[in-house]
Amino acid sequence: MGIKVGLISDTHGLLRPQALEALRDCDYLIHGGDIGKPGILDTLKQIAPLTVVRGNNDTDDAWAADVPSEAVLRVGLVGIYVAHILADVPDTLPPDVRVVVTGHSHKPLQQTRHGMLFINPGSAGPRRFKLPISVGILHIDGLDIRGELIELQPD
């Protein structure tokens, strides 16, 4: 049985119950930045171990000073690199990194580049333009990785 890694980003202070429901069975969680309020991280930590990066809108908040701008974690055999903005991802990553998680654009997207899965779960917070409200899940089974984007139906 595989490992489920929940992906959430761009909450901007709004943690929807639909997002919590979509992520509740995950083994790990990653927040891709633009958190908005520290209470969001406290709530997510109650679900599963949490890795988080600071977004460009988190910089003026004293609580966010300790949140890193990038993170690398290992889930099973898979290295995962996390940064808020895709343009900030370095050209060279550790050799075990197979997944890059970003946020910022509010557009859910996954694509494979150079043998790596790049995935942006979109925004789980306030709606922006006509973009969907969404989260993501990485399904990891050994070295097999599958990304899933989940559009949430807000109230």
Locate the domains of the chain by residue range.
3-151
Q: Would the CA dihedral through 103, 69, 55, 19 be positive or negative?
A: positive
User: Who has greater pLDDT, 155 or 9?
Assistant: 9
Percent above pLDDT 70 for the chain: 99
* Whole-number pLDDT of residue 155: 66
Residues 6+ positions from 136 with CB-CB distance below 8 Å? 6, 7, 8, 108, 110, 119, 120, 121, 122, 147, 148, 149, 150
Segment 85-101 shows an average pLDDT of 95
Confidence tier at 122 by pLDDT (50, 70, 90)? very high
Q: CA 54: distance to chain centroid?
A: 11
State phi, psi for 137 to the nearest 5 degrees: -140, 135
Mean pLDDT of the chain, nearest integer: 94
Cα–Cα distance, 42 to 34 (Å, whole number):
15
Tokens representing 30 are 């990653």
SS3 4: strand
- Residue 118 bridge partners (DSSP): 100, 111
Lowest-confidence region among 23-27, 88-92, 125-129, 130-134: 125-129
Q: How far apart are the first and last CA of the chain?
A: 33
Tokens representing 68 are 């890193």
Class of 3-151 per CATH? alpha beta
pTM, rounded to two decimals: 0.96
